Structure 1
Amino acid sequence: MPQRPHTHQKPTKTNMERPSKQYFKVCFCCRRMFRLKAAEPPEDVKKAFESYSENGTMTVDHLLRFLKEFQGERGATKEDAQGIFNSLKHLNIFQRKDLHLEAFFRYLLSDHNAPLSPNLGVHHDMKAPLAHYFLYTGHNSYLTGNQLSSDCSVDPIIKALKRGVRVIELDLWPNATNDDVDVCHGGTLTTPVELTQCLQAINCNAFIASEYPVIITFEDHLTPKLQARVADVVVNTFGATLFQPETELKELPSPESLKRKIIISTKPPKEYLESWRDKNQDDQDEVEEDDKDESDEGGEDHQDEDILAVPEYRHLIAIHAGKVKGGIENWFFDDANKVRRLSLSEQQLEKAAETYATNIVRFTQRNLLRVYPKGIRFDSSNFNPLVGWEHGAQMVAFNMQGYGKYLWIMHGMFRANGGCGYVKKPHFLLNPREVYDPNEELPTITTLKVKVYLGEGWYSDFSHTHFDRYSPPDFYTRVGIAGVPRDTKMMRTKAIEDEWVPVWNHEFAFPLTVPELALLRIEVMEYDTSGNPDFGGQTCLPVSELRGGIRAVPLYNRKGEVYNSVRLLMRFKFV
């Protein structure tokens, strides 16, 4: 049986813990030995150092000039450059009081040289109506796993809020004794959790990651008596943080005006009876057959007098939800006297977009559109969020408890704007005079050049036989764009055999027609002769906030958790 590899360590001046050899025992009498190479500065790094140094050393002033001219950090100050110097002192790789090439290289690979600026914070205009933003949105936020049999819990709600998610969905059902309210996925084997626990979890964690408003969407399957119970619990839990406008909104307020506010959105009770009757009179079309009911519909066949008996529940609802009566041609009607939230499944949106793309974009300039996964995604998988975003949909609702490329894209989008959970939509989606048509082919506006130099950190963060029992890993990198269809593509480097510190020096070019909606996808895989490559890390970055120059790009695991040491050295340039 193969054994855990042995390492032979030879102390060096720059890293006293860096091993120089690795042995793999393949049988009782044979061992394979591989030399472990340390990361070395690529030629581009050497040339940059030569251009911004004198006599082999770089002063604070030299580094400041490098930051401004080469890295494009026009606002960099001498204090910023001195801070970088100070961050490297513990490495003991200074020459006198200045940086030599090795120290400069270690800075480029450090957390101080991230691809997104750590100083930007919330920098979008936050005083526009809510409809002008993409919102970090969860779907069935209480589920811990699949849609059919997993537990319901407050834990995924708390985790989502701490990540910055701003829209939480709760499905409300009578409990077993019909005297209180549970949250669960109705008609399945999911175990319920009490509504009061969910609301308390939201109240305690809503504004840890962001001070901008949290919207709770209810899928309501309650009697009027239990709706009154919900109203009482919600008011008692949130108190003054609950946003309760006196009249139905004619225009959505801004995130800035709603800081640290909780907003309830669902279908008003009076409309449940009409909704129930309509659904029993009309045949469902093919798109709706595989989906659960629209998430802001539901409810029972209440009598009108019962509905009118719960005004306190109606008063909870700040953002009214529901469809205009009639077919698909009426869904996107914009009433100048009020605003509303419309919910569609991913299939319904795709079908509607074939004919009504510009109507959808115009609708989302004043109203909210929520898009949720189709009902047959029992494994809690997700769909391409760009389909919603390019049509202006603010709430692309995702199952946050899973993982996969679409969830990574979602995480990437909301790294923008300081991670506050609100990203301002690009101007072309908000222009009422010239409505954007997602189906129109557009010219290339810019080209993003991406160069992948090298990677490091797997030797520290993984078991040394994690990727291959008999040799070091064979890593390759996949780089691409997630965006509108014309911009979307993925490319890859070649695999570098038997190296913990692979060097690729591979450059890619990505022409972009809609850079405002583009995200840079990066994945590292380990080649396997079986055809099933091993996962070595991923990240997704909003192109709109990508910093030019040579950058250290930290990678994340499948769940979106950052590795301690794994990172790539890359260069970004717009031409």
Structure 2
Amino acid sequence: MQFQRGRGRSRSHSRELYLQEQSLEVAALNGQRMGLQDDKDLQALLKGSQLLKVKSNSWRRERFYKLQEDCKTIWQESRKVMRTPESQLFSIEDIQEVRMGHRTEGLEKFARDVPEDRCFSIVFKNQRNTLDLIASSPADAQHWVQGLHKIIHHSGNMDQQQKLQHWIHSCLRKADKNKDNKMSFKELQNFLKELNIQVDDSYARKIFRECDHSQTDSLEDEEIEAFYKMLTQRKEIDRTFAEAAGSGETLSVDQLVRFLQHQQREEAAGPALALSLIERYEPSEKAKAQRQMTKDGFLMYLLSADGSAFNLAHRRVYQDMGQPLSHYLVSSSHNTYLLEDQLRGPSSTEAYIRALCKGCRCLELDCWDGPNQEPIIYHGYTFTSKILFCDVLRAIRDYAFKVSQYPVILSLENHCSLEQQRVMARHLRETLGSMLLDRPLEGATTSLPSPEQLKGKILLKGKKLGGLLPLSGEGGPEATVVSDEDEAAEMEDEAVKSRVQHKPREDKLRLVKELSNMVIYCKSVHFRGFSSPGTPGQAFYEMVSFSENRILRLLQESGNSLVRHNESHLSRIYPAGWRTDSSNYSPVEMWNGGCQIDTWSGNGRVPGPLPGQWGLRVRAEAGLPAGPQLRLQPT
């Protein structure tokens, strides 16, 4: 019996070594596919390390993090008893950004005692909480930050064939319960269920047998790829390819050119473009040598950025950016500070960062008196959490121009006392510095300046005393009462009022000169009707905020007047108060009327034709935005 137990331990140890070798081989292969073979940062991540996970001032826990051999998944240790193995994993593809230092709300608040070169954060694309981490050394933190940046970058640069092979290999590793590098039909069935792919067992078994060329009642790499292709076959793509190829089984250069011209509407379609696509996407070296494209290459092209319905040239600024601001559609956000719902959700500086990283150019700041003479931001009269005004300004300063150099508008909803308004003004000047536009531009005193003129500048939208020029500091009152009807209407929508704390709201605001003088081209005024011959109209630097319901009525009753008004003035639209679930209206009707700033409800969601930029609107058809050509592209 003693001998038998020894043999069992020996076999177990041998199998463990075998599995470790297999894991290293798979990791090396996947690293090579991404062009990161022998990379020191990648090797450090594959080895893994102990990191401190930070949640609050009192919650710091040591956890082990490790990059899996697929080079696409991070495993994190968990002490929760009921946690499943799958819940301890997250994909590299779910990562929005990796930040070094105290650059999230969590690390800013809870890790000030730790040097910045040991701190980093993983920000996710969805609503998942940001992962704030502290490494044991600056070198370890650098390995994680640089390693993740490299994996994200190189994964994005893989062609479709490499991505498919990588995905298939990952599927094999996950489904291969007995680690024999083969996929039995039962393993395949279980994995299809995990992927939520609904397929009839008899049909799956039929395809499985057709692909089992080795007759081993299991599938290996190439056979799994064949199974995947048969399972995901698209008849409409086959039909389109057959129409383009005629009687042949491949596309010639001339046939591909015709497809690009007539089906894809490529303006630059010609032999040079066709040959470059063949070179880039054709997996068959034989077909490539014969200057032909197979069906596989055709599908790879359709799935690529070159086959996208979005015009790649429009990822860069391609429009005339020298016209007045009123000629542009603006990616905008409403209640930007909220991460979740409008009544009880958390407020966070992270919401501003996410909005700016998505290309938002107009943010909202609802400002209220806070403790210790520090203004706060939250959704007034509700139970949403509160954040400091100064923290929001720091986040805006750091991220305002990461995506675009074109101007950012801060829409101030000011509910503060005179004392805290002065604190707001001081924070704005000290934090934003030269970014803040606090005086009219030379030559822009009779009409709005252009986005090109305002590059790198932050504009305030809010109440203002007097006209375009800042009030002199000599003489006159230090504070003046101004109308606050529009903000009152926005706050006091009956649908919201019935679901939140009942508090009285006045429609007058006392405004200090220091804050007023910072508002230049976006003076907030109440709508008094459209100008008519013989009556003075609204000044070019004055703008109105319309409710969703009111603008829809105006579009029906005075559509032409609204379009003419928006040729020279900015208009902001805010969603109906009943949208407390952060649902959004369609901005297209408002765009058609020339409205530029169509704000959406919370969660950093921003509408706009060109995220990251001010999109020039087409004025010939009452401001209809120009869209990309319709193209064939698989979903």
Give TM-score, length-normalised by structure 2: 0.56
Q: Structure 1 residue 552 and structure 2 residue 619: aligned? A: no
Q: Tell me which of the two structures has the higher relative contact order, counting C-alpha pairs closer than 8 angstroms and 6 or more residues apart.
A: 1
* Worse-superposed segment, 84-93 or 315-324: 84-93
Which residue of structure 1 lines up, in the alignment, with residue 307 of structure 2?
A: 113
Structure 2 residue matching 1:47: 3-state secondary structure? helix
CA–CA distance in structure 2, aligned partners of residues 72 and 302 of structure 1: 56
Give the structure with higher Rg (CA): 2
Which residue of structure 1 lines up, in the alignment, with residue 225 of structure 2?
A: 18
Judging by fraction of residues, say which structure has more helix: 2
Q: Structure 1 residue 425 and structure 2 residue 617: aligned? A: yes
Question: How far is the alpha carbon of 1:274 from its aligned partner?
Answer: 3.5
Structure 2 residue matching 1:321: 3-state secondary structure? strand
Distance 1:17 1:545, change over 3 A: farther
Q: Of 330, 347, 361, which aligns to 1:135? A: 330
Structure 1 residue matching 2:364: 3-state secondary structure? strand
AA matched with 1:547: Q
Q: Structure 1 residue 200 and structure 2 residue 407: aligned? A: no
Q: Alpha carbon RMSD of aligned pairs, Å?
A: 3.9
Structure 2 residue matching 1:370: 3-state secondary structure? strand
Which residue of structure 1 lines up, in the alignment, with residue 274 of structure 2?
A: 81
Q: Structure 1 residue 174 and structure 2 residue 389: aligned? A: no
Q: Of 431, 439, 463, which aligns to 1:245? A: 439
Q: Structure 1 residue 273 and structure 2 residue 481: aligned? A: yes
AA matched with 2:411: T
Distance 1:163 1:324, change over 3 A: closer
CA–CA distance in structure 2, aligned partners of residues 16 and 97 of structure 1: 27
Distance 1:199 1:93, change over 3 A: farther
Which residue of structure 1 lines up, in the alignment, with residue 522 of structure 2?
A: 320
Aligned residues of 1:94 and 1:103 also touching (Cα < 8 A): no
Distance 1:11 1:108, change over 3 A: farther
AA matched with 1:105: F
Aligned residues of 1:144 and 1:156 also touching (Cα < 8 A): yes
Give structure 2 stretches of 5+ with no counterpart. 1-188, 194-203, 214-219, 467-478, 498-504
Aligned residues of 1:170 and 1:219 also touching (Cα < 8 A): yes
CA–CA distance in structure 1, aligned partners of residues 321 and 399 of structure 2: 22
AA matched with 1:379: D
For 1:513-565, what per-residue CA distance to the aligned partner results, in whole angstroms no more than 9, with x for missing partners? x9x44xxxxxxxxxxxxxxxxxxxxxxxxxx343355x225xxxxxxxxxxxx
CA–CA distance in structure 1, aligned partners of residues 538 and 526 of structure 2: 14
AA matched with 1:395: I
Aligned residues of 1:93 and 1:103 also touching (Cα < 8 A): no
Q: Structure 1 residue 264 and structure 2 residue 460: aligned? A: yes
CA–CA distance in structure 2, aligned partners of residues 228 and 188 of structure 1: 25
Aligned residues of 1:14 and 1:93 also touching (Cα < 8 A): no
Give structure 1 stretches of 5+ with no counterpart. 23-34, 293-297, 430-435, 437-513, 518-543, 554-566, 568-575
AA matched with 2:570: L
Distance 1:399 1:334, change over 3 A: farther
Structure 2 residue matching 1:42: 3-state secondary structure? helix
CA–CA distance in structure 2, aligned partners of residues 168 and 175 of structure 1: 20
Which residue of structure 1 lines up, in the alignment, with residue 31 of structure 2?
A: none
Q: How does 1:219-368 map to 2 (within 5 A)?
A: 219-246=413-440, 249-268=445-464, 273-275=481-483, 289-290=494-495, 307=511, 310-324=512-526, 328=529, 335=537, 338-368=540-570
Aligned residues of 1:122 and 1:420 also touching (Cα < 8 A): no
Structure 2 residue matching 1:398: 3-state secondary structure? coil
Which residue of structure 2 lines up, in the alignment, with residue 102 of structure 1?
A: 295
Question: How far is the alpha carbon of 1:357 from its aligned partner?
Answer: 2.3
Which residue of structure 2 lines up, in the alignment, with residue 146 of structure 1?
A: 341
CA–CA distance in structure 2, aligned partners of residues 325 and 105 of structure 1: 55
CA–CA distance in structure 2, aligned partners of residues 114 and 152 of structure 1: 36
CA–CA distance in structure 1, aligned partners of residues 321 and 291 of structure 2: 42
Structure 2 residue matching 1:217: 3-state secondary structure? strand
For 1:296-344, what per-residue CA distance to the aligned partner results, in whole angstroms no more than 9, with x for missing partners? xx988666xxx4xx43322211223333575x56799873754211001
Aligned residues of 2:463 and 2:482 also touching (Cα < 8 A): no
Aligned residues of 1:272 and 1:301 also touching (Cα < 8 A): no
Structure 1 residue matching 2:599: 3-state secondary structure? strand
Q: How does 1:524-535 map to 2 (within 5 A)?
A: none
Question: How far is the alpha carbon of 1:203 from its aligned partner?
Answer: 1.4
Distance 1:3 1:420, change over 3 A: closer
Aligned residues of 1:183 and 1:195 also touching (Cα < 8 A): yes
AA matched with 1:17: I
Question: How far is the alpha carbon of 1:113 from its aligned partner?
Answer: 0.8
CA–CA distance in structure 1, aligned partners of residues 228 and 589 of structure 2: 49
Aligned residues of 2:530 and 2:561 also touching (Cα < 8 A): no
Q: How does 1:514-525 map to 2 (within 5 A)?
A: 516-517=624-625
Structure 1 residue matching 2:411: 3-state secondary structure? strand
AA matched with 1:396: D
AA matched with 2:400: A
CA–CA distance in structure 2, aligned partners of residues 115 and 321 of structure 1: 39
CA–CA distance in structure 1, aligned partners of residues 267 and 495 of structure 2: 53
CA–CA distance in structure 1, aligned partners of residues 575 and 461 of structure 2: 19
CA–CA distance in structure 1, aligned partners of residues 417 and 507 of structure 2: 7
Aligned residues of 1:342 and 1:370 also touching (Cα < 8 A): yes
CA–CA distance in structure 2, aligned partners of residues 274 and 243 of structure 1: 22
For 1:54-96, what per-residue CA distance to the aligned partner results, in whole angstroms no more than 9, with x for missing partners? x755455664564345533232465543432232255668364
Distance 1:57 1:43, change over 3 A: closer
Q: How does 1:448-527 map to 2 (within 5 A)?
A: 516-517=624-625
Judging by fraction of residues, say which structure has more strand: 1
CA–CA distance in structure 2, aligned partners of residues 75 and 128 of structure 1: 28
AA matched with 1:113: G
* Worse-superposed segment, 388-397 or 378-387: 378-387
For 1:434-464, what per-residue CA distance to the aligned partner results, in whole angstroms no more than 9, with x for missing partners? xx5xxxxxxxxxxxxxxxxxxxxxxxxxxxx
CA–CA distance in structure 2, aligned partners of residues 384 and 272 of structure 1: 38
Structure 2 residue matching 1:229: 3-state secondary structure? helix
Distance 1:246 1:44, change over 3 A: closer
Give TM-score, length-normalised by structure 1: 0.61
CA–CA distance in structure 2, aligned partners of residues 242 and 164 of structure 1: 19
Aligned residues of 1:57 and 1:101 also touching (Cα < 8 A): yes
CA–CA distance in structure 2, aligned partners of residues 200 and 284 of structure 1: 30
